């Protein structure tokens, strides 16, 4: 027993017994502190399933540590800092250790209140390693980072060359939805246990601000459940991950995606075990390389890149608004049933039902709508952070500000992800049942995405004409015979959007 009591401070997204400050912790030498910031919980109206997952996963984790013999102090206070001070006052002289938190805000708080920090090891790329890679880049590109990762980690490479002959097999992975009926995988269900029920009752009793559907077992709240999801994915879903990765079919909300992001982001799973499990399937030889590579790229590429960038981007990055976008969040995104745009209605319904939609609805429906209508980036960021079960500051800031709404003027992505109805019609199945026509850009039944896509290019013509990856699209404006009518319709559409009549 050390002569000075040592307590491990665990953030709600550090639920990994074998990493961070808990890695070498022993029940007879250390106790554990989990602080719930009531101020944070009440700061926004969260998706009910997001709040429940966060709180219930922490509660389960605390029980698991107690079962191992740890004393776990669970403190609820107006803020994290107040909670730690309250604990310190009750345990004079205590030494508090924690792993580097995942957000700038919590990093500042923990440093200010004197928490001794050990490095964050929840990723495959340490913050110093990424910083070194970053410093050596002339321009930032994920594909360069991904190549570096593959070589550095020795994943899907042979003698310094990519297995399959090319680093990315994405070109094979962009099929539109298949014809129905198609045997989509059935997502797992995780029946709520007593802890889940108690946490939900607590959320209701305390009248914590929530929206969306109540927790219903869509999301696991334990490591055991997260492992079940991982095995379900690699055994039955991964073989088909690639081809329909970008498709938005009517018949499935999960498509062939892994549904692992909430667990990875809370620390219930580590990226290394997820990648190892996928690669093990490749060794067996019954999963197409395009699916394996496509999935591995998401985890060792995009996820690590986004986290690395978060720690390197300028401090004002989250407030950037390069396209001068100041529209308020429209009613169409606020709650279900507030829009006639069938694609948006479907995605908002899904988001309210489970706090999750896959990458393409996030990027090409929600963020695209925000981009081409000019919604204020900070409002989009705040809304998505409240609504998604897998949200975290480190992952939302680059994905929304950089990838989603191009508010960083191309620091992260070379071009904005703006698209009209033609793309959504090809990759989704909503247009057939929609009151609007994806092919039309003017007139009352013109697809708002098509109208606003051209309106967006028109508004930012000068800026994007200078961008080699956008210049061709901008030149397309000059070929439009109805540009004047389109400008009038674009203004009308924005008024209707603001009024909730679109």
Ligand X SMILES: Cc1cc2nc3c(=O)[nH]c(=O)nc-3n(C[C@H](O)[C@H](O)[C@H](O)COP(=O)(O)OP(=O)(O)OC[C@H]3O[C@@H](n4cnc5c(N)ncnc54)[C@H](O)[C@@H]3O)c2cc1C
In Å, what is the CA distance from 205 to each residue of 47, 75, 201, 202, 355? 16, 18, 6, 5, 22
DSSP letter at 335 equals: S
Give the binding range for ligand X (CB under 6 A) out of 77-85, 251-259, 344-352, 450-458.
Answer: 251-259
Using CB distances below 5 to 8 A depending on partner kind, what does residue 447 bind out of ligand SF4, ligand X, none?
A: ligand SF4
Smallest gap from residue 271 Cβ to ligand X (A): 8
Using CB distances below 5 to 8 A depending on partner kind, what does residue 342 bind out of ligand SF4, ligand X, none?
A: ligand SF4
Using CB distances below 5 to 8 A depending on partner kind, what does residue 257 bind out of ligand SF4, ligand X, none?
A: ligand X
Query: Residue 247 interacts with ligand X (CB under 6 A)?
Result: no
Query: Residue 399 interacts with ligand X (CB under 6 A)?
Result: yes
Residues 6+ positions from 274 with CB-CB distance below 8 Å: 230, 258, 260, 264, 299
Distance (Å, whole) CA 245 – CA 255: 7
Q: Which residue, chain included where needed, has tokens 């990648």?
A: 275
Distance (Å, whole) CA 105 – CA 103: 5
Query: Residue 302 interacts with ligand X (CB under 6 A)?
Result: yes
Using CB distances below 5 to 8 A depending on partner kind, what does residue 97 bind out of ligand X, ligand SF4, none?
A: none
401 or 474, CB closer to ligand X? Answer: 401
Using CB distances below 5 to 8 A depending on partner kind, what does residue 399 bind out of ligand X, ligand SF4, none?
A: ligand X
Q: Between 364 and 383, how does the x/- string for binding to ligand X read (CB under 6 A)?
A: ---x----------------
96 or 341, CB closer to ligand SF4? Answer: 341
Q: Which residue, chain included where needed, has tokens 């129905």?
A: 180
Q: Name the pairing type of β-strands 161-162 and 157-158.
A: antiparallel
Smallest gap from residue 78 Cβ to ligand X (A): 26
Radius of gyration of the chain (CA): 24
238 or 248, CB closer to ligand SF4? Answer: 248
Smallest gap from residue 449 Cβ to ligand SF4 (A): 5
- Cα(first)–Cα(last) distance of the chain, in Å? 66
Smallest gap from residue 220 Cβ to ligand SF4 (A): 32
The single residue among 384, 411, 474, 493 that binds ligand X, judged by CB under 6 A, is 384
Query: Residue 400 interacts with ligand X (CB under 6 A)?
Result: yes
Smallest gap from residue 476 Cβ to ligand X (A): 25
Residues forming contacts to ligand SF4 in the complex (CB under 6 A) are 341-343, 421, 424-425, 430-431, 434, 436, 438, 447-449
384 or 474, CB closer to ligand X? Answer: 384
Q: What is the SS3 string spanning 117-176?
A: EECCCCCCCCHHHHHHHHHCCCCCCHHHHHHHHHHHHCCCEECCEECCCCCCCHHHHCCC
The single residue among 35, 169, 264, 434 that binds ligand X, judged by CB under 6 A, is 264
Smallest gap from residue 492 Cβ to ligand SF4 (A): 15
276 or 444, CB closer to ligand SF4? Answer: 444
Give the binding range for ligand X (CB under 6 A) out of 52-60, 258-266, 427-435, 451-459.
Answer: 258-266
Burial class (CB in 10 A: 0-12, 13-18, 19+), 120: buried
Q: Between 269 and 288, how does the x/- string for binding to ligand X read (CB under 6 A)?
A: --------------------
Query: Residue 453 interacts with ligand X (CB under 6 A)?
Result: no
Distance (Å, whole) CA 119 – CA 113: 17
DSSP letter at 327 equals: B
Per DSSP, what are the bridge partners of residue 248?
428
Q: Is 75 helix (H, G, I), strand (E, B) or coil?
A: strand
Distance (Å, whole) CA 494 – CA 502: 9
User: Site size for ligand X, by CB under 6 A?
Assistant: 27
Nearest to 133 by CA among 393, 317, 314, 307: 307
Rounded to 5°, angle at Cα 287 from 283 and 289 = 85
Distance (Å, whole) CA 175 – CA 52: 35
Using CB distances below 5 to 8 A depending on partner kind, what does residue 490 bind out of ligand X, ligand SF4, none?
A: none
- List residues binding ligand X (CB under 6 A): 257-261, 264-265, 298-299, 302-303, 306, 358-359, 362-363, 367, 384, 388, 390-391, 395-396, 399-400, 403-404
């Amino acid at each position: 027993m050390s002569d000075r009591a040592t307590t491990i401070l665990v953030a709600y997204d550090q639920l990994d017994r074998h990493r961070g400050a808990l890695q070498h912790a022993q029940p007879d030498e250390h106790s554990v502190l989990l602080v719930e910031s009531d101020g944070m919980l009440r700061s926004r109206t969260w998706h009910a399933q997001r709040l429940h997952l966060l709180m219930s996963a922490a509660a389960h984790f605390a029980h698991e540590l107690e079962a191992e013999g740890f004393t776990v102090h669970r403190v609820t206070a107006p803020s994290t800092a107040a909670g730690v001070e309250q604990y310190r006052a009750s345990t004079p002289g205590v030494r508090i250790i924690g792993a580097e938190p995942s957000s700038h805000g919590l990093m500042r708080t923990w440093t200010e209140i004197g928490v001794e920090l050990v490095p964050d090891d929840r990723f495959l790329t340490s913050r110093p390693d990424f910083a070194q890679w970053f410093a050596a880049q002339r321009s930032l590109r994920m594909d360069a980072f991904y190549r570096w990762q593959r070589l550095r980690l020795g994943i899907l490479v042979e003698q310094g060359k990519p297995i399959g002959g090319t680093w990315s097999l994405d070109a094979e992975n962009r099929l539109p939805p298949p014809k129905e009926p198609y045997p989509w995988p059935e997502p797992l269900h995780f029946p709520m246990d007593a802890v889940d029920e108690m946490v939900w009752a607590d959320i209701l009793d305390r009248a914590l601000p929530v929206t969306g559907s109540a927790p219903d077992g869509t999301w696991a709240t334990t490591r055991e459940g997260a492992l079940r999801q991982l095995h379900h994915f690699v055994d039955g879903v991964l073989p088909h991950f690639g081809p329909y990765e970008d498709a938005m079919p009517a018949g499935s909300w999960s498509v062939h995606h892994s549904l692992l992001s909430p667990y990875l982001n809370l620390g219930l799973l580590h990226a290394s075990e997820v990648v190892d499990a996928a690669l093990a399937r490749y060794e067996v030889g019954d999963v197409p390389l395009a699916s394996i590579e496509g999935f591995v790229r998401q985890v060792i590429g995009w996820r690590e890149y986004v986290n690395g960038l978060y720690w390197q981007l300028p401090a004002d990055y989250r407030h950037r608004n390069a396209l001068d976008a100041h529209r308020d969040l429209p009613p169409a995104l606020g709650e279900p049933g507030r829009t006639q745009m069938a694609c948006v209605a479907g995605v908002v319904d899904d988001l309210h039902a489970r706090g999750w939609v896959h990458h393409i609805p996030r990027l090409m429906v929600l963020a695209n709508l925000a981009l081409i209508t000019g919604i204020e980036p900070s409002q989009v960021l705040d809304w998505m952070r409240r609504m998604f079960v897998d949200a975290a500051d480190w992952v939302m800031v680059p994905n929304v500000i950089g990838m989603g709404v191009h508010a960083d003027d191309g620091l992260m992505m070379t071009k904005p992800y703006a698209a009209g109805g033609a793309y959504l019609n090809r990759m989704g199945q909503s247009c057939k049942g929609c009151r609007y026509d994806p092919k039309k850009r003017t007139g009352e039944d013109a697809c708002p995405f098509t109208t606003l896509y051209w309106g967006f290019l028109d508004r930012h013509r000068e800026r994007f004409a200078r961008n080699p990856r956008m210049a061709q699209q901008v030149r397309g404006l000059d070929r439009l015979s109805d540009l004047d009518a389109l400008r009038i319709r674009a203004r009308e559409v924005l008024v209707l959007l603001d009024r909730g009549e679109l």
